[in-house]
Structure 1
Amino acid sequence: MRLTIMAHGPDMVAPRPPREGGRRAHSPPHHFPPRSSYAALDLGTNNCRLLIARPSEDGFVVVDAFSRIVRLGEGLAATGRLSDAAMDRAVSALSVCADKLRRRRVSLVRSVATEACRRAANGREFVQRVYRETGIALEIISPEQEARLAVLGCHALIEPGEGQALVFDIGGGSTELILIDADQSPPRVIDWYSAPWGVVSLSETEPHVGDSRDGLLDSYARMRSRVAESFAQFAAKLEPGAQPGRLLGTSGTVTTLASVHLDLPNYDRRLIDGLVVPVTAMRDISARLAGMNVDERAEVPCIGHERADLVVAGCAILDAILDMWPAERLGVADRGIREGILRSLMARDRTRMLM
């Protein structure tokens, strides 16, 4: 069975109850076929993630989910191509997703691929292989589409206030910066930028190495400098002298650092999604992790061996963002592209049924 049904086209602030995502998220609740189900699949440079949901009266209910680190972009910075091992890992994860989509009898699915497939010379060949072997039709989306879907999926967690807000998504191969007018619903995108640095691409291009804490911190400073240079064009367009406003991050980096901030023994999405953390606390954690070697970081709960070699790159990107947009508080979202896809699919289906 081919899965080709596609959409056209005292140091912290307590978390607020999530208004979308988690087990529920806001989305138009009425005028859907009985028990209709929708799915969003996001294949990134580092992770493969799937959400399957059904509409409910107050949004949608997630009925199944899947997430696996596949490191599709491993080695891409050096070769310009997706490696055989990386593609095999991704296909294995996508096969699990395909089985879930069949068993859940999903009515409508949108499957997207991002920076690794955009950048790789063999990205489209890989997409064809995925279709042949799993039946999943991946759509390679543009950086702008990626940015807008991320905002659509997480904007409800932006803190109340006035003025502009900055939403960012630190991925595996790129980082999206989205400047929005949050006084509108949904928010209006004022400007956006996609930087070519994510946790995988930065780690491979500017490795975090050193024989001592000072050496590691010097290496970290070079990582920050490289990212800041790539942000310069976007930063220059920000209003001169304007006081940076609200800030919301959606990525494994910010959710991991928020978990370290709370000193959680294991990751708990219920405590993280919607959390607001003082920026000084996030900077302190980044500095502490940057002075550790990879084995020391692996011993930190909620980092472990899977994230130990990549988390410092995420810290460097986050620090560069905070240098550019020096907010006092950082909102943390464990939601983004997949939730944005689900919202758009449900809204489109509802409109179609009302016609």
Structure 2
Amino acid sequence: MTASSIAEKEGLSPDLLASIDMGSNSFHMVVARLVHGEIRTVEKMGEKVQLGDGLDEHNNLTEEAQQRGLDCLRRFAQRLQGTPPEGVQIVGTNALRVARNAQEFIDKAEDVLGYPVEVIAGREEARLIYLGVSHTLSDDEGRRLVIDIGGGSTEFIIGERFEPQELNSMHMGCVSFRNLYFPDGKITRKLMDRAVLHAEQELQSIWRRYRKVGWQSAVGSSGSIKAISNILASLKLTDGTITRAAMDELRIRLVDMGNVEKLSELGVREDRQSIFPAGFAILYAAFRALDIQEMAFADGALREGLLYDIVGRIQHEDVRERTIAALQERYHVDQAHGAAVEQTALAAWEQTANQWGLFTPADEDLLRWACRLHEIGLTISHSQYHKHGAYLLHYSDLPGFTQQFQRDLATLVRGHRRKFSPSVFEGTDPEEKARLRYLCVLLRLAVVIQHSRNLEPAPEFILKAEENKLTITFPEGWLDERPLTLADLKNEQDYLARQDFTLDINAE
């Protein structure tokens, strides 16, 4: 069952949606309703948390930074109450990507919010930003360049209408650049030149390709670009449009001011003053490296992209399904066999979900997609192909997937055959290990039953699930006609027994 079918079945209201973007600089929340297929914002909240500023020399989030984040989330949590789980997405970005103790903070955040928190990769962040921006703009033809400057990373996307074509997340942001070049608030020509040069160096890896692809319009999102747009308008340099000439003039004025405290004279809010020169330097470098002449500002951002991503899943337009299909095509996966394994595994899941606590839509999705991709590693080599497949899934950019979901998917593929050892679950959250172990057992069982690859429907087996035991009963005579399958099942008994898991095989 999908999230939407569960909502329909249980009478939940999938029209109430909420997203939280835990950025390196600010945390944002949007609550909205889905009315006749359109998102209507009910409430927006945002706070400067500067989580990325709380990374110590070992890349651990300090207690103070974690507390700032948790205090903000407590205020958000009250507004989330009553929102169906399938209507909520909460994600962390660059600060939580690099923090060594990110899981510690995530566990605390989940306790506060009562909903799961996921960390997304840079390219996935870029995809969602483009989704949010493109839905707030007119549906014009032609490619557009979208730039979003965050606290720890900056995303560059080229796309057309609602489809991104180029996605990149660069490891530079207004908080990290502030700490490097403007830590004491001074703005000098030398410091500005160094910051701009650093950003241009980061852009060396993409500027040629981006210029070659080209675009008809450029759009900026995020607080830094909004602040620049507002200042240009207040100085009457432009009407709010960001132009190359206006950026040159603003650069001169910033250096002349000499200190971030004087930015109040330009109307910059106090909580943004310290990071404004850093955000300006990154955007100025982008204008130069990508030869941008003019840029508009759009209100849409990551948080809006998350809402539209939820709507896509509810309306059966899940980008993750497209990602899985693309992987099957790219790596020449036997899709018919994958479908047979999936059908068998889901028949097993339906009989064991309640006993093993695997009844969420995420459990079903994880099992389904692992079935479809369990042989992806064959494109590299038959030997140890389960390990090759796990590597591909762990380290590939998979649109629509969070980092944790990718790791879980890789874990199931890694553990679908051969030794069922503890190494399969290394690095897994202890609280998730039992869940993944059960899903892995169901996948292994389905692979064994479909080992003959004759694409016949799975037999009407009966499963009885206990804590560390699974009893499977086959129709009378079915195993007698398939001695190789019986031998495979007995081998599977041995593999599972080494991990204190019992598989009993019966025939009616």
Corresponding residue for residue 300 of structure 1: 266
Bigger mean CA offset, 54-63 vs 67-76? 54-63
**For residues 306 and 321 of structure 1, do their structure 2 counterparts lie closer, same or farther at Cα, with a shift above 3 Å needed?**
same
Bigger mean CA offset, 150-159 vs 330-339? 150-159
**1:65 aligned to 2:44?**
yes
| Structure showing greater relative contact order (alpha-carbon pairs closer than 8 Å, 6 or more residues apart) | 1
Residue number among 149, 165, 175 corresponding to 1:190 in the alignment: 165
C-alpha distance in 2 between matches for 1:236 and 1:311: 28
**For residues 34 and 118 of structure 1, do their structure 2 counterparts lie closer, same or farther at Cα, with a shift above 3 Å needed?**
closer
Please list the CA deviations of residues 144-187 of structure 1 after superposition, one character each: whole Å capped at 9, or x if unmatched.
Answer: 1100000000124567876542211100000011122x2xx323
Please list the CA deviations of residues 8-56 of structure 1 after superposition, one character each: whole Å capped at 9, or x if unmatched.
Answer: xxxxxxxxxxxxxxxxxxxxxxxx9768200111000011100010122
C-alpha distance in 2 between matches for 1:314 and 1:234: 19
Corresponding residue for residue 26 of structure 1: none
RMSD: 3.0
Q: Tell me, what secondary structure is at the counterpart of 1:197?
A: coil
- Are the equivalent residues in 2 in contact too, given 1:208–1:312 (CA < 8 A)? no
TM-score between the two structures when normalised by the length of structure 1: 0.78
Residue number among 113, 117, 128 corresponding to 1:149 in the alignment: 128
Name the larger-Rg structure. 2
- Are the equivalent residues in 2 in contact too, given 1:298–1:307 (CA < 8 A)? no
**For residues 244 and 63 of structure 1, do their structure 2 counterparts lie closer, same or farther at Cα, with a shift above 3 Å needed?**
closer
Q: Tell me, what secondary structure is at the counterpart of 1:74?
A: helix
- Are the equivalent residues in 2 in contact too, given 1:167–1:179 (CA < 8 A)? yes
Corresponding residue for residue 262 of structure 1: 233
Q: Superposition pairs for residues 164-243 of structure 1, below 5 Å?
A: 164-180=143-159, 182=160, 185-187=161-163, 189-207=164-182, 216-239=188-211
- Are the equivalent residues in 2 in contact too, given 1:248–1:331 (CA < 8 A)? yes
- Are the equivalent residues in 1 in contact too, given 2:77–2:112 (CA < 8 A)? no
**For residues 105 and 34 of structure 1, do their structure 2 counterparts lie closer, same or farther at Cα, with a shift above 3 Å needed?**
closer
Q: CA deviation at 1:76?
A: 2.2
- Are the equivalent residues in 1 in contact too, given 2:14–2:86 (CA < 8 A)? no
Residue number among 14, 21, 27 corresponding to 1:42 in the alignment: 21
Residue number among 212, 216, 221 corresponding to 1:250 in the alignment: 221
C-alpha distance in 2 between matches for 1:310 and 1:45: 12
Corresponding residue for residue 132 of structure 1: 111
Corresponding residue for residue 110 of structure 1: 89
**For residues 298 and 278 of structure 1, do their structure 2 counterparts lie closer, same or farther at Cα, with a shift above 3 Å needed?**
same
**For residues 244 and 105 of structure 1, do their structure 2 counterparts lie closer, same or farther at Cα, with a shift above 3 Å needed?**
closer
**For residues 56 and 83 of structure 1, do their structure 2 counterparts lie closer, same or farther at Cα, with a shift above 3 Å needed?**
same
| Alignment coverage as a number of residue pairs | 307
Please list the CA deviations of residues 239-292 of structure 1 after superposition, one character each: whole Å capped at 9, or x if unmatched.
Answer: 55x76642111111111111112229xxxxxxx9xx644342244224423432
**For residues 55 and 91 of structure 1, do their structure 2 counterparts lie closer, same or farther at Cα, with a shift above 3 Å needed?**
same
| Identity within the alignment, % | 27
Q: Tell me, what secondary structure is at the counterpart of 2:198?
A: helix
Bigger mean CA offset, 313-322 vs 284-293? 284-293
Between Structure 1 and Structure 2, the one with more helix by share is: 2
C-alpha distance in 2 between matches for 1:221 and 1:161: 37
Residue number among 291, 295, 313 corresponding to 1:326 in the alignment: 291
Q: Give the residue type in structure 1 aligned to 2:170.
A: A
C-alpha distance in 2 between matches for 1:143 and 1:102: 29
Q: Give the residue type in structure 2 aligned to 1:151.
A: Y
Q: CA deviation at 1:206?
A: 2.6
Q: CA deviation at 1:115?
A: 0.2
Corresponding residue for residue 20 of structure 1: none
